[in-house]
Amino acid sequence: MKKSLILAAIALATVLSLTASAAPLDGSITIGAFGTFIDGTNLANSTLFAPIGLVVPGVFVGVTTGDYTAIPLATSGANGVIDLNNLSSYIVSFPGYGFFGATVGVILSQTAEFLDAYFTGNFVPDPAGPLSGFDVSPSSVRVSLNQSGDSVSYGATLASPPAPPQEIPEPASYAMLGAGLVGLALVRRRKAA
């Protein structure tokens, strides 16, 4: 009888472990490239932005957190092309580890020297890779492109769960804040005199 109960408990635990859902990924990884091809003369008049060579996570910044630490530094990636005519086509993949596919993309800022794009979608772990124990996970990618002369740099962060885009104040906001602080200092100085 005791053996039957133990065997039944083991069988139940086995069935429950097989039907249990895996956890979503939690963490982030930086992505860089050796350069970027653009189809215009600057970032404001371009609609296609393609990393030159392979997208390489962590090489330049070296920041990987949480579950994404399973992807070693200097792992080559692929894709990462931003097409302003089809933002939801953004994909970045890490062969053997998985890929991120955008469902929605938005341009947060675009000037002649700077492009800030934000994508939400899912990271799909490679079923044969070290992240295979995780579920398809809601994620985001924030991409920043900077142009200096003919050189365009590409940097991005992949985050699970999605990291909301933070507002970057425009220069006029800083100017107004500075003017307000100077005004307060002058008023205080007059009252003290």
Spatial CA neighbour of 27 closest among 158, 168, 187: 158
Strand partners, 119: 105, 141
Alpha-helical runs (H) found in 28-110: none
User: What are the domain boundaries of the chain?
Assistant: 24-186
98: exposed, middle or buried (C-beta count within 10 Å: 0-12, 13-18, 19+)?
buried
What lies within 8 Å, CB to CB, of 113 at 6+ separation is 42, 43, 146, 147, 148
Alpha-carbon distance 48 to 46, whole Å?
6
pLDDT of residue 166: 65
pLDDT of residue 191: 75
- Whether residue 20 is predicted with pLDDT greater than 60 in this model: the reply is no
Which tokens go with 16? 């429950």
Which position has the higher pLDDT, 115 or 166? 115
Q: What is the arithmetic mean of pLDDT over 143-162?
A: 91
- Whether residue 193 is predicted with pLDDT greater than 80 in this model: the reply is no
80 alpha-carbon distance from chain centroid: 11
pLDDT of residue 169: 53
Q: Establish whether the linkage from the previous residue to 161 is cis, with ω within 30° of 0.
A: yes
Rounded to two decimals, the pTM is 0.73
Mean pLDDT of the chain, nearest integer: 79
Q: What is the arithmetic mean of pLDDT over 145-173?
A: 80
Which position has the higher pLDDT, 20 or 57? 57
- Residue in the structure block whose two tokens are 């920041």: 63
Task: Determine contact, residues 104/88, Cβ cutoff 8 Å.
Answer: yes
Instruction: Give the model confidence (pLDDT) of 35-56 as tens digits.
Output: 899 999 999 999 999 998 666 5
φ/ψ bin of 187: left (φ > 0), alpha (ψ from -120 to 50), beta (otherwise): alpha
